[in-house]
């Protein structure tokens, strides 16, 4: 259960096992055993001696006992189909989300968060000195390629936008806030996350405090305002109309800052050395590693403490963990549905195998007589297999109807696939049919190996 809890939620104690939970599970197990023992007990108590002798003489299986067994097998197959369809839909959803291009390379990225107290870091220069020391010391660690600070990492927040205006451009339309996601970072941030340059350059050492103010925009902003030409050289103003303009020096591909599913927004990337501290402060250290990023967790924390022993460090995690949190609900539900579906599939297989084995043992005399009178082993096997497939067919029919209705509750969790996806339904139905065929084949083979002479001798 602890593994079902994604990193970042572990501190909530969601996987804690306590006495109440164990007591509930034990009580439920006992109640389930008693309830499901009542039906066969009541059937046995109602059977008369004369009926039992007649049924034994006929060596046949029928009546309410057979109907009960058949009904349980049908329900098991139906339940397995519903759970397998749900797990299949969630699996396809996760696959579709993982296939989305996030606009950067999340592997081999280690992150942590620091919050510089205003009382000690009173101006931009003191903050820049801290950022510069930490990033330079981090980049010097073995196994580190790049290091940078940024105000917000991708997938961490859905907001933090700022109003912008294109210098000399048309005013925004009514109802259009013309706001952009803004990320303030140190030199080399976009290169650290491996964003792709589409035009121009990234922010670097040339964009210091006294240099002309520079900004890098994403593809969405460039396409919205400069679709007829290059965005380079145009100027943007942020916030109030009298603020100094920033010149666009580069265009990068769209980075999914707000997660997998939310629509893309215009985004701007600014240098902390050129922006007022009231706009945004870099809080996240992001490091590109050559090997496992987890191995750099402790060394990076030592680097931060060396720069400031009193600096609190939080949210130490890899970028892959951050992306996993965005689909944590889907992943948990897929795992739970998959586990219950596997259990239901196992129970359905055992139930079908058990019923057919019991039928074969009860009809041993009849099968022996059929074989003695010239029936082929193939026909005997077909009889048993058809019995199993008929029960499975009924279960599949009921299960498909239930799944078609119940999977509608998952629609809000699905992505790139509809609740009534015919591919998922078809694959699950074929899988169940194949397993049912195997579960039916084993008792059928046993029935075909019945020795007619031995049966007749035993009956005699």
| pLDDT tens, position by position, 171-198 | 777 667 789 999 999 989 999 999 999 9
Burial status of residue 424 (CB atoms within 10 A of its CB: 0-12, 13-18, 19 or more): buried
Q: What is the mean pLDDT of residues 10-18?
A: 59
Q: pLDDT band for 15, please (50, 70, 90 cuts).
A: low
**Structure tokens, 317:** 């995690």
Within this chain, do residues 409 and 444 fall inside the same structural domain, yes or no?
A: yes
260 close to 415: Cβ distance less than 8 angstroms: yes
Q: In this model, does residue 59 exceed pLDDT 50?
A: no
**What confidence score (pLDDT) does residue 277 get?**
72
Verify that 255 and 347 share a domain, yes or no: no
The helix (H) or strand (E) run that includes residue 458 is helix 452-459
Q: Is residue 111 part of a domain?
A: no
* 353 and 215 in a common domain: no
Task: Please tell me the predicted confidence (pLDDT) of residue 336.
Answer: 83
Number of domains in the chain: 3
Helix (H, G, I), strand (E, B) or coil at 355: helix
Is the confidence at residue 61, as pLDDT, over 60?
A: no
Residue 14 has pLDDT above 60, yes or no: no
Same domain membership, residue 359 and residue 451: yes
In a domain, 200, yes or no: yes
Distances (CA, A) of 48 to 44, 77, 224, 290, 362: 9, 33, 85, 78, 19
Q: Is 57 among the domain residues? A: no
In-domain check, residue 121: yes
**Over residues 250-273, mean pLDDT:** 93
Of 284, 311, 338, the last residue of a domain is 311
At 200 the pLDDT is: 93
| Amino acid 16: pLDDT | 65
| Of 327, 190, 313, 316, the residue nearest 249 (C-alpha) | 190
Sorted by sequence, the CB contacts under 8 Å of residue 257 that are 6+ apart come out as 152, 154, 155, 157, 181, 183, 265, 267
Tokens linked to 148? 């940078």
Residue 123 CB neighbour total at 10 angstroms: 9
Q: Three-state SS for 29? A: helix
Q: Shortest CA distance to 121 belongs to which of 308, 284, 280?
A: 308
Joined together, the tokens standing for residue 92 give 């396809």
- Three-class SS of residue 434? helix
Instruction: Convert the pLDDT of each residue in 31-40 to its tens digit.
Output: 999 988 887 7
8 A C-beta contact, residue 257 and residue 324: no
CA 385 to chain centre: 38
Question: Is 50 exceeded by the pLDDT of residue 375?
Answer: yes
Q: Which residues pair with 27 in a beta bridge?
A: none
Final residue in a domain of this structure, among 311, 343, 365: 311
**pLDDT reported for residue 51:** 59
Q: Is the pLDDT of residue 88 over 70?
A: yes
> Do 386 and 237 sit in the same domain of this protein?
no
End residue of a domain, out of 259, 276, 311 = 311
Read off the pLDDT of each residue in 380-406 and give the average, rounded to a whole number: 90
Residues 265 and 227 in one domain: yes
Helix (H) or strand (E) holding 217: strand 214-218
When pLDDT is averaged across residues 237-246 and rounded to a whole number, the result is: 86
Residues 434, 288 share a domain:
no
Higher-pLDDT residue of 200 and 169 is: 200
Band of residue 54 on the pLDDT scale cut at 50, 70, 90: low
Helical H segments across 363-451, by residue range: 364-372, 377-406, 422-448
Q: What is the mean pLDDT of residues 321-345?
A: 85
pLDDT for 397 beyond 80: yes
Residue 134 and residue 221 in one domain: yes
Can you give the residue range of the structural domain that contains 123?
116-311
* Domain presence at residue 109: no
What is the rounded average pLDDT for all residues in the chain? Answer: 86
DSSP class of residue 274?
G
**pLDDT value for 173:** 72
Residues 102-158 pLDDT 10s: 999 999 999 999 988 888 888 888 999 999 999 999 999 999 999 999 999 999 988
Instruction: Give the global pTM.
Output: 0.75
Please tell me the predicted confidence (pLDDT) of residue 227.
82
Q: What DSSP state is assigned to residue 376?
A: -
Instruction: Give the other-Cβ count within 10 Å of 58's Cβ.
Output: 13
Give me 337's structure tokens.
């549905």
Q: How confident is residue 413, by pLDDT bands cut at 50, 70 and 90?
A: confident
Same domain, 70 and 159: no
Alpha-helical runs (H) found in 47-154: 49-58, 63-98, 124-139
Statement to judge: residues 394 and 441 lie in one domain: yes
Mean pLDDT of 160-173: 82
Residue 343 belongs to some domain of the structure: yes
Residue owning tokens 């189909």: 81
Task: Judge whether 432 lies within some domain.
Answer: yes
HSE-CB at 245 with a 13 A cutoff on CA atoms is 11
Residue 140 within a domain: yes
- Are residues 282 and 163 part of one domain? yes
Let me know: does 103 contact 260? Beta carbons within 8 Å.
Answer: no
**Residue 109: per-residue pLDDT:** 96
Q: Are residues 132 and 279 in the same domain?
A: yes
What does the pLDDT look like over 193-226, one tens digit per residue? Answer: 999 999 999 998 888 877 789 999 999 999 999 8
């Amino acid at each position: 259960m602890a593994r079902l809890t994604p990193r970042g939620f572990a501190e909530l104690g969601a996987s804690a096992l306590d006495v109440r939970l164990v007591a509930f599970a034990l009580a439920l197990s006992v109640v389930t055993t008693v309830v499901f023992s009542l039906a066969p007990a009541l059937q046995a108590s109602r059977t008369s001696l004369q009926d039992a002798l007649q049924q034994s003489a006929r060596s046949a299986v029928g009546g309410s006992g057979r109907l009960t067994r058949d009904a349980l097998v049908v329900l098991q197959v139906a339940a397995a189909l519903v759970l397998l369809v749900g797990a299949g839909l969630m699996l396809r959803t996760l696959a579709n989300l993982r296939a989305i291009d996030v606009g950067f390379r999340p592997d081999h990225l280690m992150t942590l968060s620091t919050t510089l107290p205003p009382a000690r870091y009173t101006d931009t220069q003191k903050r820049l000195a801290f950022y510069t020391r930490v990033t330079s010391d981090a980049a010097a660690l073995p196994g580190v390629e790049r290091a940078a600070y940024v105000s917000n990492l991708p997938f961490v927040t859905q907001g933090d936008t700022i109003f912008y205006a294109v210098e000399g451009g048309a005013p925004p339309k009514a109802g259009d806030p013309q706001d952009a996601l803004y990320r303030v970072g140190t030199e080399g941030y976009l290169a650290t996350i491996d964003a792709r340059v589409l035009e121009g350059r990234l922010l670097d050492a040339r964009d210091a405090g006294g240099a002309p103010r520079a900004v890098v925009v994403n593809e969405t902003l460039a396409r919205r305002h400069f679709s007829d030409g290059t965005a380079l050289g145009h100027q943007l103003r942020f916030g109030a109309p009298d603020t100094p303009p920033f010149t666009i020096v580069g265009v990068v591909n769209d980075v999914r800052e707000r997660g997998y599913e939310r629509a893309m927004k215009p985004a701007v990337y600014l240098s902390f050395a050129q922006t007022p501290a009231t706009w945004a402060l870099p809080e996240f250290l992001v490091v590109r590693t050559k090997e496992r990023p987890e191995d750099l967790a402790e060394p990076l924390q030592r680097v931060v403490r060396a720069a400031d022993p009193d600096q609190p460090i939080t949210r130490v995690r890899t970028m892959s963990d951050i992306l996993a949190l965005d689909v944590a609900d889907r992943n948990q539900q897929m795992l739970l549905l998959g586990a219950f579906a596997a259990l239901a599939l196992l129970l359905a297989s055992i139930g079908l195998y058990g019923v057919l084995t019991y039928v074969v043992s009860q009809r041993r005399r009849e099968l022996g007589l059929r074989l003695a009178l010239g029936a082929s082993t193939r026909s005997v096997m077909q009889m048993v297999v058809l019995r199993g497939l008929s029960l499975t067919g009924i279960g599949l029919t009921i299960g498909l109807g239930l799944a078609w209705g119940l999977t509608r509750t998952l629609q809000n969790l699905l992505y790139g696939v509809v609740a009534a996806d015919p591919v998922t339904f078809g694959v699950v139905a074929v899988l169940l049919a194949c397993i049912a065929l195997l579960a039916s084949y084993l008792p059928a083979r046993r029935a075909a190996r019945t020795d007619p002479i031995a049966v007749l001798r035993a009956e005699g």
